[in-house]
Structure 1
């Protein structure tokens, strides 16, 4: 049995490229303090490259007139498997979806690894640069585009007389939002306050934070033209 073939060094180089590119993406995620960081993305990209290399070069010795090789079958399984992995980082909490960008990044990392394993390192490098462009300058631009959050009103229900409103305003200020109270209604020991928050961060992040405050019994996000 030959442990090395004429293509071994090429395979190792492609695997190393996948490792480096995946690690670059993982470092960016790690800096952003996302749930899936450097180790996860490095393993996903390197694993995808290894599976692709095995499917393309690992069965050469068994090929013959009666044995045909279809590398695309393993590639399709990689896509399905990474889909399940990405779904694991997406979760919904009180009608707020989190983790979509991280799941998409895992998907992208697997695709980059597959491109390396398929012998297309230039395409993989280009995809990595495009990913960094999408999460960098494009992310900066997206935060400055007009957002529908500016037209939304947050209705917060909280216990009366417990200083909850001060905690709500302090939380909003800490997260970079400016708050204005539009209307308040008191029903027994419960207050329902309609508030508007303006800021650069997604309003859903604030909704999650408000839900975690002691004394807050409910938070609802609605459009300005909706009824209560």
Structure 2
């Protein structure tokens, strides 16, 4: 049974375009609430653009009297073209790749728009729902399954840097995976070491306390690794 009982009239096409607007906005609102670089407007425009391309591919050329056309040709180019938009929100911050989830969200939004344009509204709604489930509840499930900590430590050492070797030794023997992402001298002359650590939470707490007790370490702060 067809998931869409429309006849391909202008009214049907406008309804599909409106549905794409609503579903794209739902995805965009979630990204907006997470303060991501691509938010509500970007996702709406991506969804509308994908829908329009699909509708034009399906109906536009037939109205010109060109005979049989392949509606999948333009739609296929949407998949390729949307990759350039997604690439624009991916960047590297201190060795960490940021924006992958948002880029994937843009990709899904284009797919939702194409489903609307192809006359598959139930499929588009299902895709949007599963997207919200993925970005909303699965991260919590991942943390419960892994029971592991992944944080970035910012370790400030006195200007002489004499204790830097002791800090590195502590990182190497902490029982965690540690990666030094950045080492720089601050304006107050202190050295700042940015370290990506991953492992059990109890090991992370012990490492934090150990680093803070080293003479010459000015401060140690810990924060989550921000992605998506």
Give the TM-score of the pair, scaled to structure 2: 0.69
Is this contact kept in 2: 1:116–1:124, CA < 8 A? Answer: yes
* Distance verdict in 2 for CA 1:76–1:147, change over 3 Å: farther
Distance in 2 between residues matched to 1:103 and 1:74, nearest whole Å: 21
1:147: how far off?
5.3
**Among 34, 50, 53, the residue aligned to 2:52:** 50
Q: What's the counterpart of residue 74 of structure 2? A: 74
Matches for 1:145-184 after TM superposition, within 5 Å: 145-146=145-146, 149=149, 158-160=156-158
Distance in 2 between residues matched to 1:139 and 1:20, nearest whole Å: 25
Is this contact kept in 2: 1:112–1:128, CA < 8 A? Answer: yes
Q: What's the counterpart of residue 177 of structure 1? A: none
Distance in 1 between residues matched to 2:21 and 2:175, nearest whole Å: 43
Q: What's the counterpart of residue 219 of structure 1? A: 194
| Ranges of 4+ aligned residues in structure 1 off by more than 6 Å | 154-157, 210-213
Q: What's the counterpart of residue 101 of structure 2? A: 101
* Distance verdict in 2 for CA 1:23–1:80, change over 3 Å: same
Q: What's the counterpart of residue 85 of structure 2? A: 85
- Structure 1 gap segments, 5+ residues each: 162-185
Q: Are 2:42 and 1:40 aligned?
A: yes
Instruction: Give RMSD over aligned pairs.
Output: 3.4
1:85: how far off?
0.5
Distance in 2 between residues matched to 1:74 and 1:63, nearest whole Å: 18
1:10-36 C-alpha deviation (Å, 9 max, x unpaired): 000000000000001111111111111
How many pairs align?
185
* Distance verdict in 2 for CA 1:124–1:155, change over 3 Å: closer
Q: What's the counterpart of residue 112 of structure 2? A: 112
- Structure 2 gap segments, 5+ residues each: 1-6, 200-228
* Distance verdict in 2 for CA 1:157–1:135, change over 3 Å: closer
**Among 17, 21, 24, the residue aligned to 1:22:** 24
Distance in 1 between residues matched to 2:110 and 2:45, nearest whole Å: 9
Distance in 2 between residues matched to 1:78 and 1:23, nearest whole Å: 19
Distance in 2 between residues matched to 1:110 and 1:68, nearest whole Å: 26
1:192: how far off?
5.0
* Distance verdict in 2 for CA 1:117–1:111, change over 3 Å: same
* Distance verdict in 2 for CA 1:117–1:187, change over 3 Å: same
Distance in 2 between residues matched to 1:62 and 1:88, nearest whole Å: 36
1:220: how far off?
4.0
Is this contact kept in 1: 2:184–2:192, CA < 8 A? Answer: no
The alignment partner of 1:144 has SS state of: helix
1:6: how far off?
6.7
